[in-house]
A = this chain, B = another copy of it.
Amino acid sequence: MIGVDWGTSSFRAFRMDVGGRIAGRVEGPNGIMQVPDRDYAAVLRRQIGVWLSQGERCVLLSGMIGSRQGWVEAPYLACPAGAAELAASLVPVAFDDARVLLVPGLSHGDAAGTPEVMRGEEVQLVGVLPALGERGTACLPGSHSKWARITGGRIDGFSTYLSGETFAALRSGTILARTMSADAAVDHAAFDRGVARSADPGHLLHHLFGVRTLALFGRLSDAEGASYLSGLLIGHEVRDGLASAAQVPVQLIGARGLCCLYARAIEHCGGTATIMDEDAAATGLALIGQSLRERDAAWT
**Interfacial residues, chain A to chain B (CB-CB below 8 A):** 110-112, 114-117, 143-144, 159-163, 165-166, 168-170, 172-175, 197, 200-210, 212-214, 216-217, 219, 233, 236-237, 240
Residue of B nearest to A213 (CB): B115
Instruction: Select one of B112, B173, B204 contacting A205, CB under 8 A.
Output: B204
Chain B residues within 8 Å of A165, by CB: 173-175
Instruction: Select one of B115, B169, B209 contacting A216, CB under 8 A.
Output: B115
Of A143, A162, A236, A240, the most chain B CB neighbours within 10 A belong to A162
Once the chains bind, are A112 and B166 in contact (CB under 8 Å)? no
Once the chains bind, are A162 and B205 in contact (CB under 8 Å)? yes
Question: What is the minimal beta-carbon distance from A131 to any residue of chain B, in angstroms?
Answer: 26
User: What are 8 A-B contacts with C-beta separation under 8 Å?
Assistant: A114-B213, A161-B206, A162-B170, A162-B205, A162-B212, A166-B205, A169-B173, A203-B237
Question: What is the minimal beta-carbon distance from A42 to any residue of chain B, in angstroms?
Answer: 27
Tell me whether A208 and B162 are in contact in the complex, defined as CB-CB below 8 angstroms, given that A168-B173, A169-B169 are known contacts: yes
Once the chains bind, are A216 and B117 in contact (CB under 8 Å)? yes
Once the chains bind, are B200 and A163 in contact (CB under 8 Å)? no
The answer for the CA separation of A268 and B203 in the assembled complex, in Å, is: 19
The answer for the CA separation of A233 and B166 in the assembled complex, in Å, is: 13
Tell me whether A202 and B240 are in contact in the complex, defined as CB-CB below 8 angstroms, given that A169-B170, A216-B117 are known contacts: yes
Once the chains bind, are B174 and A166 in contact (CB under 8 Å)? yes
The answer for the CA separation of A210 and B107 in the assembled complex, in Å, is: 12
